A and B are shown apart, each in its own frame.
Chain A
């Protein structure tokens, strides 16, 4: 199956800092989503982005499918951004594979 690697595994920021999270995958995909899991366990959709670039407020994402990676940018981080960020990818059958996530802590 598809292998998904996310980096860094852990990230600690001061409020207001910017960060870039990376998702590498081992095969061509036709589905890719970024999620934020908050401390209560809720998985929140951030982006559905099998290719290209999208922006939503302070967050943006870019997927370069030909080079098998996706990036999630967080600008002007806030304490509410804390949690775990997951990348999930799927191939032809769209049985999605999740990475192990990036755990983000934003200090005030």
Chain B
């Protein structure tokens, strides 16, 4: 079975632009979470979705938004990009919220010029 897949793998944008990142969970997994990892730090939680509803939100500005589709795939949108948004964006899936291990995709490496 395929693992968590993310697209694109790499992306270069300029300040002020917006970006959409995509994630497909492991088949059968209904929960998707998004993380931002800047160089030298651990991943920081952004959003968690389960059954198309937001179940958790980290300490990120409103420029960050996400949604989950009926097939449980998810999109992360970031508007008005800043240089500080340069990071590795990771998606993780699990079969349900809470008490289950998370499985991560390979990430999207976003660079802001």
Contacts and interface: CB of A to CB of B under 8 A. Distances in A.
A98 B44 contact: yes
Given A31-B98, A43-B90, A95 B48 contact: yes
A65 B48 CA distance: 25
Given A41-B109, A45-B103, A99 B98 contact: no
Interface in B45-95: 45, 48, 55-56, 58, 88, 90
- A: contact size bracket: 20 to 34
B101 A94 contact: no
A24 to B, nearest CB: 14
Given A41-B88, A101-B42, A96 B109 contact: no
Interface of A: 30-31, 33, 35, 40-43, 45, 48, 86, 88, 90, 92-101
6 contacts: A35-B104, A42-B107, A45-B102, A93-B56, A93-B98, A98-B43
